[in-house]
Structure 1
């Protein structure tokens, strides 16, 4: 998983857009969180968040960036930052206008505390 996520991000770095970069960083953050490695998870979540904000990528991707931040802080057992980013993720999810996208984001947010992957 980790090699695949890093390879994907590496290749998007040549042909992608900021949206691809942000999603690639999110994907790497997710894998590190699932592996219980909070420091690299937080590093890549922060990169995803910065790309979303700088490039105004929209609420769907911004919500996922906040979800990645919350997940990394959950692994780190930093309750204050976890709560802050969970709240931001939930608030941002409410702004997503495409219903299926909103549901998918919320489903992912619901799995943060258990550090699992949602199933369709």
Structure 2
């Protein structure tokens, strides 16, 4: 597989995961597809992308597991996303850090750690002030609000 084909695989699997995340309900087959596609995308980005691509892949894995209520892998991938984001490097944008904190909030909700979730959600909200693009701000703010945690 050449570099262009690898990139297409990483992008298409990432986008497919988003489609599946957006479904109101998923079949067992769709859950399997969503889980595997998130890992494929993250893996391929780890081979051909930069640190930001890998961090976003970890974010997506965390999101999938949090949505499925699988706390341990959600927490692991969310923490990995945060570590990569804090380490920095090429390709990061101003919304990546609040996004990583939002992922940890979701993962802690899945684990039933509501105080931890509130703390990560509050941190994500605070950092949204530094996000220039209103659409980027809105996406992460909406994801934090989905948690239903009071500030």
TM-score w.r.t. the length of structure 1 is 0.89
Query: Structure 1: any 5+ residue segments left out of the alignment?
Result: 115-120
Query: Matches of 1:36 and 1:104 in 2, distance apart?
Result: 21
1:25 and 2:58 aligned: yes
Q: Does 1:51 pair with 2:84?
A: yes
Deviation at 1:59, TM superposition (A): 3.1
Q: How far is the alpha carbon of 1:38 from its aligned partner?
A: 0.6
Q: What residue in structure 2 maps to residue 68 of structure 1?
A: 103
TM-superposed deviation, 1:107 = 1.3
Aligned-residue CA RMSD (Å): 1.4
1:103 is displaced (CA, Å) by 1.1
CA deviation vs aligned residue, 1:68-120 (integer Å, no higher than 9, x gap):
10001011111221111010110111210111111111111111349xxxxxx
Larger radius of gyration: 2
Structure 2, gaps ≥5 residues long: 1-33
1:84 aligns to 2:119 (yes or no) = yes
TM-score normalised by length of structure 2: 0.72
Q: Return structure 1 stretches of 4+ with deviation > 4 angstroms.
A: none
Aligned to 1:117: none
Separation of aligned partners in 2, 1:93 and 1:59: 9
Query: Which one scores higher on RCO, CA 8 angstroms, separation ≥ 6?
Result: 1
**1:38 correspondence with 2:71:** yes
